[in-house]
Every structure is written in structure tokens, then in C-alpha cells.
Structure 1
Amino acid sequence: MPEAHFYNRGARRVQDTLDTRPLADHIANKYVTEHLDESAVEIVTGAPCFYLATADAHGFPDCSYKGGLPGFVHVASPERLCFPSYDGNGMFRSLGNILENPRVGMLFIDYEKPIKLRVNGTARVSTEDALLDAFPDADAVVEVRVRQVFENCPRYLHDMRCERYSAYVPRPHQTPPDPQWKLKPEYEGLVRLRNG
């Protein structure tokens, strides 16, 4: 991918100020792709979580943590991935932003290797049975058309190992417990309980 399509004018101004343009050009030309290669697929499908950046129609950003068991993000092809939207607090800020502005950024981190992988693309929200069937307990599925994929320098990642996966993450043949906040009297009649 030519660096001209990867960096905006602001990035170029900072690169020129800090004299990093040759390095930035080298990275863009050698490491930025428009698809998920074998290494990226391994990172994405092995991830128990990622961070999702969205923005509304006015460009105001939001960032959200998305978690599941490893494999909860599916790679349908090198240019397309999908992930579930599980039951949450009903705000749907990320999905709402995608409906208004489909551009998204995803950050996958493997703290043990360590690796940071960025995936940028265009998303759509689906409640189609064909997609939902692949994600038990999902309310919706987000499908991302990949635009840019690149690893990022991991040197500042701390050693943060996963001791255990959340009990609330959907699992085959198991109903997750209801979170304590949903059991408060103020939410009676406002939330869907699994065990109530």
C-alpha cells in the first residue's frame, strides 16, 4: 500500500517536524496491507478481546472493549471479519455509531508474544439469521470489510496475562449468570434476565 494513501496531512506534518518521514514511509510500504495474512488471522482468531473505535455522524469518537472466548471473532476471508454483539447495557453506542458512520478501527493485543495488530475498515451491523447462527447468544453481528492491517510496535505493552475468562462470556451449553447490576430494583422491567 503506497504511503500516500495511508498518512493524512496531520501525520505528515508531525513526521516532518520529528524527522520520521523516511521511517514512516518504509513501514507503510513494507508492512501495511489491505487484507489479513496468515499471521494476522492467527492473532485475530486467538484473541479473547479487542478494542473497537467508532465515531458518530459528527466525527465524535468512542472506544469500546469487546470480549469473548478465543475465536469469537471470525475471519470469513482475508478481506472480511465478523464479531458478535452480546447482551450488554442496552446503550449500543458502538453499533449506533456504525449505523451513522461505518468507519471503524480495531486493536488486537497479544500481551504474551507481545503483538499489537490494528485493523481498520468499514463495518455494517446485521441481525440476519445467516450471520447470527454462527454466534450463539449474539444480539447482532458486526461485519467488517478490511481496509488496512498492520502491526504496531509493542515495546510499551505491560505484562498482563489473562488469569481467567469472564463467567459472563457466552459458552456452548451454558447460560451465563446475570450481572449484579441487572438485579438492582431500579432496572426491574428494563432489562432481560437470563436466569430470572
Structure 2
Amino acid sequence: MAESLMFHDGNRRLQDEFDSRRIADRLVEKLTHTEFTASDRAFIEGAMFFFLATSDDRGQPDCSFKGGTPGFVKVIGASELAFPDYDGNGMFKSLGNILANPSVGLLFIDMGEKPRRVRVNGEATVSRDDPLMQRFAGAQLLVRVKARAIFPNCPRYIVTPGASDASRYAPRPGYEPPEPAWKGFDDFKDYIHPRQKTPEGA
């Protein structure tokens, strides 16, 4: 799964340079899945926003913010979600990219007291006559995403909106940040790579 869904030669080169291949593969083995869990569904359908990454037919990237009321993104199948396209500036940067290159990445973030991140990578389609559109008030178009990888991210660098201080995990001069708790979990503690250091000559 790690090779086919998550990692290419560029990922592997850096993992090997920083001795993180074992933990990378372990994180995929333990956390990455292709079907939404009940927890994933509740988190995604409770979100009021997410970030959408797309690229065009030349590989030029774009990232956009998508927002609405809770439930504006719906999990509609074991491995599929859908969200509406609302009235915007008419540029159709994201959806136009999907027509040229269906590969997408979605990032859902909770910036509250218990921060959380979930990423969904998959293949998207765009339709203006999808029968599901009636479930999405105000939709001009509907986007369906078939997930090929669903996985959480460590939330340690997330900052609560309005906070005056950076995350306690953020490195800064004269300060040694704590290790995140997950590195001590039984599933991962024997796979952790050394704290990253700048390679010689870099």
C-alpha cells in the first residue's frame, strides 16, 4: 500500500536521507485507509471548511479554501464524498483543474482545543446535473471525490485562531520543543527515526 498509494521515488529519497522510511511505512500501515470510518464521517460532515489542492494538465498547482455550513461536505459512500460548488469569482481554478487532472487532495482541520487533521487524496469528478445536487442548497455544480487514501496528520503545529503564541511544538531559538505523544505509542515507538538534522553539505 505504501508504495502504490503514498510514496514515489522523491519521497523515498528524502526518507532514506533522514532515516524515516520505517516510520513512514508504519504510519501508512496503521493509519492510512481507503474507506471512511465513523469518526472520519463525523469529523468531515461537521466541518465548516477544508482546503482543496488541485493541479492542471501541466502539473501547475493550486490550493483553495472551501467553506459552508456543517454538512456541506457529505460522505456518500464507503470511499466517496461530495461537496457543492457555490457562487464565486467565476475563475473556476479548482474545478477547471479537476476537468483537466482529476487528482485532488483535501485537508480538513479542527483548530479547537483538541486539534485534528484528516487528509483525503483521490480522484474527483465535476457535474452540473448530478442527482445528488438537490441535497446541497445553493449548489451550482457538484464535486464527487473517490478516495484512494484517507489518513490523519499529527496536529502538533496547529494554532487556535486568535492565539498570540505559536504552537509549543514549534522550534525557536533557545527552546527545545517536546516530542509529540504519538511517538511513544506502542504502535510507533520502535519505528521512530532520529530527530532530523541538516545533512552535511546541505
Which category of TM-score, normalised to the shorter sequence, fits these structures? 0.7 to 0.9
Structure 1 residue 4 and structure 2 residue 3: aligned?
yes
* Structure-2 residue corresponding to 1:193: none
**TM-score of the superposition, structure 1-length normalised?**
0.79
Equivalent residue letter for 2:119: R
Deviation at 1:39, TM superposition (A): 1.2
Equivalent residue letter for 1:51: F
* Structure-1 residue corresponding to 2:194: none
* Structure-2 residue corresponding to 1:170: none
Equivalent residue letter for 2:76: A
Deviation at 1:72, TM superposition (A): 0.4
* Structure-1 residue corresponding to 2:155: 154
Please list the CA deviations of residues 12-32 of structure 1 after superposition, one character each: whole Å capped at 9, or x if unmatched.
111111111111111011111
* Structure-1 residue corresponding to 2:120: 119
Deviation at 1:129, TM superposition (A): 5.2
* Structure-2 residue corresponding to 1:138: 139
Please list the CA deviations of residues 99-131 of structure 1 after superposition, one character each: whole Å capped at 9, or x if unmatched.
000000000001122111000010000111512
Deviation at 1:36, TM superposition (A): 1.0
* Structure-1 residue corresponding to 2:87: 87
Partners in 2 of 1:70 and 1:160 — Cα distance? 18
Question: Aligned Cα RMSD in Å?
Answer: 1.1
Contact 2:130–2:142 under 8 Å retained in 1: no
* Structure-2 residue corresponding to 1:77: 77
* Structure-1 residue corresponding to 2:60: 60
Structure 1 residue 15 and structure 2 residue 8: aligned?
no
Q: Does 1 or 2 have the higher relative contact order (CA < 8 Å, sep 6+)?
A: 2
* Structure-2 residue corresponding to 1:107: 107
Which ranges of structure 2 fall in alignment gaps of 5 or more residues?
Answer: 163-202
Find the residue that maps to 1:133 and give its secondary structure: helix
Runs of 4+ deviating beyond 6 Å: none
* Structure-2 residue corresponding to 1:28: 28
Equivalent residue letter for 2:100: E
Deviation at 1:160, TM superposition (A): 2.0
Find the residue that maps to 1:138 and give its secondary structure: coil
Q: How many residues are matched?
A: 160
Please list the CA deviations of residues 14-61 of structure 1 after superposition, one character each: whole Å capped at 9, or x if unmatched.
111111111111101111111111111111101000000000011100
Q: Percent identity?
A: 48
Deviation at 1:4, TM superposition (A): 1.7
Equivalent residue letter for 2:159: H
Partners in 2 of 1:130 and 1:46 — Cα distance? 23
Partners in 2 of 1:54 and 1:34 — Cα distance? 20
**TM-score of the superposition, structure 2-length normalised?**
0.77
Partners in 1 of 2:28 and 2:12 — Cα distance? 13
Equivalent residue letter for 1:98: I
